[in-house]
Amino acid sequence: MAARMNEFVRSILTLPTSEAAGDAPQKLLLHSCCAPCSGEVMEAMSASGIDYTIFFYNPNIHPKEEYLLRKEENIRFAEVHGVPFVDADYDSANWFKRAKGMEWEPERGIRCTMCFDMRFERTALYAHENGFPIITSSLGISRWKNMAQINDCGERAASHYPGIKYWTFNWRKGGGGARMIEISKREHFYQQEYCGCVYSLRDTNTHRVAQGREEIRIGEKYYGDEDAD
């Protein structure tokens, strides 16, 4: 853990400091997609003494019941750690507008690039308006995601503001992926079973039914339950 902490601190300290921030301590804005993905990221950053705030902006999540479940879990965990939590808009109509024509794109394709772009654009804007020189996201810790795709989107969003950098730290390294599961079980987090949007819900259900499994039942599965993986 100590080695990982040092790696965190070294990695963040090598990021260029914004001119606007001068010598002030670097504040970081963490875009969080959900409690399970951000749990390990949050604990590692807290242990490394990084001053961070959570930014929850995920208008992709559908239906709203699932969105609220994921958000409430994240708020609960942020409160336990005493970490500030910014609850941004659920402007799902905007998300659907941007996803138009991409309804049948596969996961990790252009719809996902749009989805990451949209979430990081808002994160970077908030960072710009509120004095955060560094942004990053918990999205990359999931083994289901393409980290290069996420990092490209993060860097593109940050590039609109001269004083802001996207931190491309690899959260999966050094056992981060395994600790993500451990923390989720310890905290008995809600376990989402699809990426988030209505199209990923549809495609996951199609896959499950083809395998003879039941369709997803929202709000029923929690890490640490007997049948949870």
**Integer Cα distance of 64 and 19 in angstroms:** 40
Question: How many residues belong to the site for ligand SF4 (CB under 6 A)?
Answer: 10
Q: What dihedral do alpha carbons 121, 44, 62, 113 form, nearest 10°?
A: 40
DSSP 61-115: --SHHHHHHHHHHHHHHHHHHT--EEE----HHHHHHHHTT-TTPPTTSHHHHHH
Which value, in Å, is the radius of gyration of the alpha carbons in the chain?
Answer: 17
Q: Which is nearer to ligand SF4, 31 or 111 (CB)?
A: 111
Q: Which is nearer to ligand SF4, 70 or 179 (CB)?
A: 70
Q: Is the peptide bond before 84 cis (omega within 30 degrees of 0)?
A: no
Shortest Å distance, C-beta 137 to ligand SF4:
12
Give me the 167-206 binding string for ligand SF4, x by CB under 6 A, dash otherwise: ----------------------------xxx-xx------
Q: Which is nearer to ligand SF4, 7 or 107 (CB)?
A: 107
Q: Which is nearer to ligand SF4, 140 or 196 (CB)?
A: 196
Q: Which is nearer to ligand SF4, 84 or 106 (CB)?
A: 106
Shortest Å distance, C-beta 197 to ligand SF4:
3
Q: Kindly list the strands in the beta sheet with 51-56, ordered across the sheet, starting from the edge strand earlier in the chain.
A: 85-87, 51-56, 27-31, 134-137, 165-166
Shortest Å distance, C-beta 154 to ligand SF4:
13
Q: Which is nearer to ligand SF4, 107 or 121 (CB)?
A: 107
- From candidates 60, 74, 123, 191, binder to ligand SF4 by CB under 6 A: 60
The two structure tokens encoding residue 87 = 């609850």
Shortest Å distance, C-beta 61 to ligand SF4:
7
Q: What residues numbered 94-133 form the site for ligand SF4, per CB under 6 A?
A: 107, 111-112, 115
Nearest to 40 by CA among 77, 6, 82: 77
For the stretch 36-48, what's the b/e string if a residue is b when 16 or more beta carbons lie within 10 angstroms of its beta carbon?
bbbbbbbbbbeeb
Q: Which residues sit at the interface with ligand SF4, rule CB under 6 A?
A: 60, 107, 111-112, 115, 195-197, 199-200
